[in-house]
Structure 1
Amino acid sequence: MKSHFFAYISRMRFIQRWALMRNTAPENVQEHSHQAAALAHALAVIRNEKFGGHVDAGAVAAAALYHDASEILTGDMPTPIKYDNPAIRGAYKDVEAVANRKLLTMLPEELRRAYAPLLTEVPAETEELVKAADKLSAYIKCVEELKAGNTEFREAAAQTRRALESYGLPEVAYFLEVFMDSFSLTLDQLK
């Protein structure tokens, strides 16, 4: 059997994010997914090491790598549209689920069980951390755009920060306190 799964996954780099806004640095879904995976892994490690959690950080990172895989088939719907009303949000979630199931069926049968927890059966605790990492990635993008002088991201940054704080997750609060300020610095200031 031939499989197109990884050929589709490699096309994540062609899906642009932040389509409704002027960007100083364009971002694609593949770049975003890598950053979200690194952040999700960090949040899982922080949960385990600082707050007594017992989550598999590797599984969380892997789920984050694939969290936007459905967009290969659906494209990226801008957040203001996706979350504008419950009907649109629900319909889009259904479309994402169909796309993820389609991606899963592209794999050889013997691999599907291993990929199901990444595409269609994400455990609740993993999903919580991936969602937080996804939002954290968006916040970092906003901060970096503001650092580059792009004030178009000012309101998005404020809204995203409020959303992160509303999660009430101690590992997110820890990340914001310990690591976030560095994203506002220049390379010379990071030394």
Structure 2
Amino acid sequence: MHLSNILRSGYVQRWHTNADLAHIAETNSSHQWAATMIALALDPQASRATILAVLTHDVGEMWAGDLPYDFKRDNPDIASRHAIFEVEQRNAALAPLCIEGPDLNLVGIADRVAAVLHVAQFRPDIMGNSKWARDTHDVRKQLAQCSYPGAADVLAAVDRAIACT
């Protein structure tokens, strides 16, 4: 583990491939922190390994790069191969974390909620376009269907953020 590389990975810019968002300068470190707070709001009793997974879920992007969510959704084979490589890079930088099932799902939901809330805060004017309307619908559906203890509160926070757009 090279601590300097792990810390440097936090400076990786999110949204660099999105013309609507590239200028808002969100870093992976700020995104991972937000996703971790969301995960804790969803499940205050989440395991240490799960919280560490959320906190470090994008560390591998320093070496693997990132793909836009809608590209990953529309190209699952490419997304799957890229995700494997990104996890390999993350695990090379940090001790591997073995989580699955609901714990892995918590990472994914927290990641998507963080993205929707960030865009609602910094680019509310684009929340009504087809891409963000679809992403918001998907996030709301995931939250409504999941069984995490804090899901209703997080869903209410998403609804309040969207109402302000």
TM-score, scaled to structure 2: 0.80
Give 1 or 2 for the bigger CA radius of gyration.
Answer: 1
User: Considering only aligned residues, what root-mean-square deviation do their CA atoms show, in Å?
Assistant: 2.5
The aligned residue for residue 36 of structure 1 is: 35
Where structure 1 has 5 or more consecutive residues not aligned to the other structure, the ranges are: 46-54, 105-114, 187-191
> Could you give the per-residue CA deviations for residues 55-108 of structure 1, whole angstroms, max 9, x where no partner exists?
43544332211111111211222222223222212211221232133224xxxx
The match for 1:172 among 148, 151, 163 is 151
Matched, 1:7 2:10: no
Q: CA deviation at 1:184?
A: 5.8
The aligned residue for residue 63 of structure 1 is: 53
The aligned residue for residue 52 of structure 1 is: none
Relative distance call for 1:134 and 1:69 in structure 2 (3 A) is same
Paired with 2:127 and 2:155, the residues of 1 have a C-alpha distance of 22
Relative distance call for 1:70 and 1:146 in structure 2 (3 A) is same
Contact residue 145 and residue 153 of structure 1 kept, 8 A? no
> Could you give the per-residue CA deviations for residues 100-156 of structure 1, whole angstroms, max 9, x where no partner exists?
33224xxxxxxxxxx322xxx123222111111001001102211343xx4377333
Paired with 1:93 and 1:40, the residues of 2 have a C-alpha distance of 20
Paired with 1:183 and 1:91, the residues of 2 have a C-alpha distance of 33
Where structure 2 has 5 or more consecutive residues not aligned to the other structure, the ranges are: none
> Could you give the per-residue CA deviations for residues 2-47 of structure 1, whole angstroms, max 9, x where no partner exists?
x41x2111112331111223236321111100101111111112xx
The aligned residue for residue 20 of structure 2 is: 22
Paired with 1:81 and 1:181, the residues of 2 have a C-alpha distance of 25
Paired with 2:81 and 2:162, the residues of 1 have a C-alpha distance of 36
The aligned residue for residue 109 of structure 1 is: none
Paired residues in the alignment total 158
Where has structure 1 moved over 4 Å in runs of 4 or more? none
Give the 5 Å matches for 1:1-191.
3-4=1-2, 6-19=3-16, 20-23=18-21, 25-45=24-44, 55-56=45-46, 58-104=48-94, 115-117=95-97, 121-147=98-124, 150-151=125-126, 154-167=129-142, 168-170=145-147, 171-177=150-156, 179-183=157-161
- 1:165 maps to amino acid: R
Paired with 1:66 and 1:12, the residues of 2 have a C-alpha distance of 10
